Structure 1
Amino acid sequence: MIRHEQNLLFFRKESSKETLLIVNGSVPLSYPAQGVVVAPHEPVYIPGKGVVTRAHDIFPHLCQVQLLSAEFGVLDIAATVPNVNVNGQETTSLTISSTSLSHLNRQLEFVVYISTVFDIDAREYVHFVYMQHKAIIPIIIRVRKPPILYDTGKAGDINDKVTAITKTFKRYSSVRLLLRSIQKYYPRMRVVVADDNKPIEDLQSEHVDHYVMPFASGWFGGRNLAVSQVITPYLLWLDDDFVFTEDTKLEIMAGVLDNSNLDVVSGIAGEMNLVTTRMELIPGKDDDDGYCIHHKSGNYGQVPGFPDCYLTTKVYNFFMGRSDEIRSVGFYPAYSRYADREFYLEALGRLRMAACKGVHIGH
Structure 2
Amino acid sequence: MEKDQAIFNFSFEEYEAIFSIEIKRPSVPVLYDPGEDINSQVTIATKTFLRYDELNILIKSIRQFYPEIKIIIADDSLEPQNVTGYKLEQYIMPPTQGWFAGRNLAVSQVTTKYFLWVDDDYIFSNSTRIEKFVEIMEKVPELDVVSKETGEHTSHHVIFVKPKMGANLDKFIIAPANSPLQYPITGFTVSPLKKSVIPGLALQTQKREVYKVSLSAKTGVLSVDSVTAGDQVDGQGQSNLTISSSSLTHVNDLLSRVTYYSTIYHIKTSDFVHFIFEDHEVVFPILIRRQTVPSLYDPGTDVNSQVTVLTKTFLRYKELNVLIQSIRMYYPDIMIIIADDSMKPEPVTGKNIEHYIMPPTRGWFAGRNLAVSQVTTKYFLWVDDDFQFLKGTRIESFVEIMEAVPELDILGGDVSGNQYYFTFEYEEGDEEEGGCLTRIKKGFHQQLPNFPNCFLVDGVVNYFLGRTDAVRRVGFDPYLKRVGHSGKLSD
Classify the TM-score, shorter chain. Answer: 0.7 to 0.9
Q: Residues 102-251 of structure 1: matches in 2 within 5 Å?
A: 102-154=249-301, 157-251=302-396
Question: What amino acid sits opposite 2:300 in the alignment?
Answer: G
The 2-side partners of 1:80 and 1:152 are apart by 49
2:432 to 263, 281, 288: 288
1:19 to 152, 168, 171: 171
The 2-side partners of 1:39 and 1:16 are apart by 16
The 2-side partners of 1:19 and 1:135 are apart by 14
1:267 paired with 2:413, answer yes
Is residue 82–residue 103 contact of structure 1 (8 Å, CA) maintained in 2? no
Question: What amino acid sits opposite 2:293 in the alignment?
Answer: P
1:327 paired with 2:434, answer no
Partner of 2:105: none
Q: Provide Cα deviations, 1:243-292, integer angstroms capped at 9, x if missing partner.
A: 110111110000011111211111101242x33322121234x5411111
Answer with 252-261 or 12-21: which moved more: 12-21
Unaligned runs of 5+ in 2: 1-31, 36-112, 114-140, 142-162
Q: TM-score, normalised by structure 2?
A: 0.64
From the superposition, tell whether residues 267 and 14 of structure 1 become closer, same or farther in structure 2 (CA, over 3 Å). closer
Q: Provide Cα deviations, 1:41-75, integer angstroms capped at 9, x if missing partner.
A: 1111111111112xxx4x5422111110101x210
The 2-side partners of 1:106 and 1:138 are apart by 22
Give percent identity, aligned residues only. 37
Q: Secondary structure, in 3 states, of the residue corresponding to 2:356? A: strand
Q: Secondary structure, in 3 states, of the residue corresponding to 1:225? A: helix
The 2-side partners of 1:90 and 1:83 are apart by 18
From the superposition, tell whether residues 15 and 33 of structure 1 become closer, same or farther in structure 2 (CA, over 3 Å). closer
From the superposition, tell whether residues 15 and 98 of structure 1 become closer, same or farther in structure 2 (CA, over 3 Å). closer
Pairwise CA distance, 1:113:
0.4
Is residue 182–residue 204 contact of structure 2 (8 Å, CA) maintained in 1? yes
1:318 paired with 2:318, answer no
Question: What amino acid sits opposite 1:145 in the alignment?
Answer: T
Question: What amino acid sits opposite 2:195 in the alignment?
Answer: P
Q: Provide Cα deviations, 1:119-142, integer angstroms capped at 9, x if missing partner.
A: 111111111111111111211111
From the superposition, tell whether residues 95 and 20 of structure 1 become closer, same or farther in structure 2 (CA, over 3 Å). same
1:99 to 238, 246, 249: 246
Q: Secondary structure, in 3 states, of the residue corresponding to 1:139? A: strand
The 2-side partners of 1:43 and 1:152 are apart by 36
Question: What amino acid sits opposite 1:126 in the alignment?
Answer: V
1:50 paired with 2:215, answer no
Number of residues of Structure 1 aligned to a counterpart in Structure 2: 333
Question: What amino acid sits opposite 2:297 in the alignment?
Answer: Y
* C-alpha RMSD over aligned residues: 2.4
Question: What amino acid sits opposite 1:25 in the alignment?
Answer: A
Is residue 166–residue 223 contact of structure 1 (8 Å, CA) maintained in 2? yes
Partner of 1:70: 218
Pairwise CA distance, 1:339:
4.8
The 2-side partners of 1:48 and 1:81 are apart by 22
Question: What amino acid sits opposite 1:80 in the alignment?
Answer: V
Q: Secondary structure, in 3 states, of the residue corresponding to 2:411? A: strand
The 2-side partners of 1:16 and 1:116 are apart by 17
The 2-side partners of 1:176 and 1:124 are apart by 57
Is residue 167–residue 268 contact of structure 2 (8 Å, CA) maintained in 1? no
Partner of 1:308: 453
1:61 paired with 2:213, answer no
1:276 to 421, 432, 435: 421
Unaligned runs of 5+ in 1: 351-363
The 2-side partners of 1:185 and 1:210 are apart by 21
Pairwise CA distance, 1:21:
1.1
From the superposition, tell whether residues 2 and 218 of structure 1 become closer, same or farther in structure 2 (CA, over 3 Å). closer
The 1-side partners of 2:34 and 2:370 are apart by 29
Question: What amino acid sits opposite 1:270 in the alignment?
Answer: S
Q: TM-score, normalised by structure 1?
A: 0.86
Partner of 1:354: none
Question: What amino acid sits opposite 1:233 in the alignment?
Answer: K
Pairwise CA distance, 1:15:
7.9
Pairwise CA distance, 1:314:
1.0
Q: Secondary structure, in 3 states, of the residue corresponding to 2:461? A: coil
The 2-side partners of 1:129 and 1:320 are apart by 52
The 2-side partners of 1:2 and 1:184 are apart by 46
From the superposition, tell whether residues 172 and 308 of structure 1 become closer, same or farther in structure 2 (CA, over 3 Å). same
